[in-house]
Amino acid sequence: MSTTTLSHDEAHHHDAPKGWRRWLFSTNHKDIGTLYLLFALTMLFLGGASAMLIRMELFMPGIQLVDPDLYNNLVTNHALIMIFGAVMPAAAGLANWMIPMMIGAPDMALPRMNNLSFWILPAAATMLILSFVVPFFPGGGTQINTGWTLYPPLSVQVGMSMDFLIFAIHLLGISSVLASINIIVTLLNMRAPGMALMKMPMFCWTWLVTAFLLILVVPVLAGGVTMLLFDRHFGTSFFDAAGGGDPVLFQHLFWFFGHPEVYILLLPSIGVLSHVIPAFSRKPLFGYNSMVGSMLAVATIGMVVWAHHQYTIGMSMGAVTYFMIGTIIISIPVGLMIFNFIATMWRGSMTFETPMLFAIAIVLMFTFGGLSGVMLAVVPADMQYHDSMFVVAHFHYVLMPGAVFGLFAGVFYWLPKWTGHMYDERLGKIFFWTNVIGFNITFFPQHFLGLAGMPRRIIDYNVMFTEFNVISSVGAIIFGLSHLLLLYIVIKTIRGGKKAESRSWEGAKGLEWELDSPPAFHTWTVAPQVK
C-alpha cells in the first residue's frame, strides 16, 4: 500500500447542481456511482421478487402459482436481472465512487461517456422487463422459456419477447463496454504522480482486469445474439442444422462470454475483500504481487475453459480432457487468493464489524462453492450432476458469497465515507446473520436434491424431493426478507447517524481515507503525491 504527501486543495470545491439536472446530466463520478448503486438496488429487489415466486412455486410438488412457461420465464428473468441489472451495475457503482478517489484523480477520464454508460441502463432494463411483460398481452407471443442461456433452437421459436431481450442484451453490452473503456483509460492515464501500477490499490487492479475481460467477451455475446436475431427474422441459418448451421455454435459463443462473466462478477468483490480484510485485521494485505499474478492467471485461464459448461454435447475425448484439466487448474490461483486472505488475517488484531463478517463468510462459503465447482469440472461426475439442482446450489454458492456478499462488504465498508454517517452496527450484524443463515438454508439442501436427481428449470418434481424443497423455500423467505433490512439500514445511514471521521475505520489505508466523509463534490482537484 502506498503512502502519500497530501497537497489536496479544498478551495476548488464547487457546489453540486440542484434538482433533476444534477442526476440526468451528471458527469460527476460520485453522483454516477450513486445512480449505479440505486439502480442495482432496485434491480436486486426486482430479481429477488422473481426468485421468491420461483421458490414459492417449488414449495410443494405439483403446479401451484404459475404455468410452466411463465415459471421458465421467471428463471430467465431472475438470472438476467440479477447478473446484468444488479451485480454488474453495483460493481460499476463501487468503481465509479472509489476508483478516482483511490488513485488521486478528480474524476473518471471520460465523464460524459460515464453519464452515457449509466443512462443506457434504464433503457436496457425497460427492454428486459418488457420481454417479460409482452407475452401477457394479446399477440405478445410465448414466454421466454429458454433460461438465461438462450440456446437455439428454442430461442428461435420464442415469440417477440425474445427480440426485446436481444435488444436489451445489446444495450447492456454497449453500456458495459463503454464503462470498461472509461475505467481502463482512468486507471492507465489518470493515476496520481508516483502511483505506479504495482502500487495501485487492489480494488483498482481487480477492476482493470475485469474491464479488459468485459471488452474481450461482451462483444462475443453481442455477436451471438445478433446472429440469433438474424436467424429469427432474416432467413439466416447460423444455428439451424437444416440450413447448414449448428446450434452448438451458439453454446460455444455464449459460454465464451458466460464463463469469464463469472470472473467479471467475482473480481471486483475480491478487490473489496483486499481492502476490508487488511483494514479489520490491522495488517497489510499478504502477498500483493501474488494477488495481482493470481488475478491475471484467473482471467487468462478463465478465458479458455468455457466448454466445461457443455460436457454433455458430445465433444471429443481430447477436448473434454483439455477443458477438464484447464478448469481444475483455475483452482490454483483462486486458492492462492484465498490463502492470501487467510494469511492477512493470521495473527492480526481482528475485529468483526459487518464488512469483516461478510469477508469471512466469503472466504468460507466461496471456497465451498469452489469445491463443488471442482466436482462439476470432472467430466464423468458432471455427466451425473449436469442440469440438476446441484448446479443451482453450486453457482449460487459461488455468486452470492463471491460476488454479492463482496458488494455488501464494500457497501458497509464505504457507506460512512459516502454518506458521512456511521451505519447502525447492531442492525448491520442482524442483517449479516439473517442474510447468511437464510442463504445457507435456501441453497445447502439443493446439493442433496441435485445429487438425488432433481432436475433444474422444471416446475414440478417428484414427491420424494418435497422435504428439502420446503426447507429451501422457507430459507428463501428469510433470505429474501433480510434484504428489506439492508434497504432500511442504507436509508437510515443516508438520513443521519453518528458522524463518520475521514478515516472511518481504524485500520483503513489509502488515498480515499484522506478525504472528508462525505467527500466534497469535487475531490483531488490537485493531484496528491504518492511516495
Residue 190 touches other proteins, criterion: CB under 8 A: yes
Return the axis-axis angle of helices 288-302 and 247-281, rounded to nearest 10°. 170
Cβ within 8 Å of residue 514, ≥6 positions away: 4, 6, 8, 502, 528
Residue 222 touches other proteins, criterion: CB under 8 A: yes
The piece of 216-224, 349-357, 469-477, 489-497 that touches other proteins (CB under 8 A) is 216-224
Nearer to other proteins, 42 or 226 (CB): 226
Q: 506 exposed, middle or buried (CB, 10 Å; 0-12, 13-18, 19+)? A: exposed
Q: At 42, list the grid cell.
A: 432496485
Nearer to other proteins, 278 or 519 (CB): 519
The piece of 213-221, 281-289, 400-408, 506-514 that touches other proteins (CB under 8 A) is 213-221
3-state secondary structure of 375: helix
Nearer to other proteins, 227 or 500 (CB): 227
β-pair partners for 16? none
Nearer to other proteins, 458 or 526 (CB): 526
Q: In degrees, to the nearest 5, what angle opens at C-alpha 212 toward C-alphas 321 and 340?
A: 70
The piece of 78-86, 152-160, 223-231, 287-295 that touches other proteins (CB under 8 A) is 223-231
Nearer to other proteins, 14 or 499 (CB): 14
| Identified binder of other proteins from the candidate list 368, 448, 526, 529, rule CB under 8 A | 526
Q: Which residues of 65-74 are buried (b: 16+ CB within 10 A; e: fewer)?
A: ebeeebbbbb
Residue 238 touches other proteins, criterion: CB under 8 A: yes
Residue 107 touches other proteins, criterion: CB under 8 A: yes
Total number of residues shown for the chain: 531
Residue 111 touches other proteins, criterion: CB under 8 A: yes
3-state secondary structure of 110: coil
Map the footprint of other proteins across residues 12-31, applying CB under 8 A: 12, 14, 27
| Identified binder of other proteins from the candidate list 32, 37, 227, 508, rule CB under 8 A | 227
The piece of 52-60, 186-194, 347-355, 502-510 that touches other proteins (CB under 8 A) is 186-194
The piece of 101-109, 151-159, 194-202, 363-371 that touches other proteins (CB under 8 A) is 101-109
Q: Which amino acid is at 18?
A: K
Map the footprint of other proteins across residues 407-446, applying CB under 8 A: none
> How far from 341 is each of 355, 356, 394, 472, CA to CA, in Å?
14, 12, 22, 31
Residue 112 touches other proteins, criterion: CB under 8 A: yes
Residue 520 touches other proteins, criterion: CB under 8 A: no
* DSSP per-residue string spanning 202-255: HHHHHHHHHHHHHHHHHHHHHHHHHHHHHHHHS---TT-GGGT--HHHHHHHHH
* DSSP per-residue string spanning 459-473: S---GGGHHHHHHHH
Q: Is 143 in contact with 70 (CB distance < 8 Å)?
A: yes
Nearer to other proteins, 222 or 320 (CB): 222
Nearer to other proteins, 112 or 499 (CB): 112
Nearer to other proteins, 95 or 105 (CB): 105
Nearer to other proteins, 250 or 390 (CB): 250
- Give min distance, CB of 504 to other proteins, in A: 25
| Identified binder of other proteins from the candidate list 188, 241, 371, 383, rule CB under 8 A | 188
How many separate helices (H) and strands (E) can be counted in the chain? 17, 2
β-pair partners for 5? 529
The piece of 73-81, 128-136, 148-156, 222-230 that touches other proteins (CB under 8 A) is 222-230
Q: At 184, list the grid cell.
A: 481502463
| Identified binder of other proteins from the candidate list 184, 337, 376, 441, rule CB under 8 A | 184
CA distance 85 to 105: 27
Q: Which residues bind other proteins (CB under 8 A)?
A: 12, 14, 27, 105-107, 109-113, 177, 180-181, 184-185, 188-190, 215-220, 222-224, 226-227, 238, 249, 253, 522, 525-527
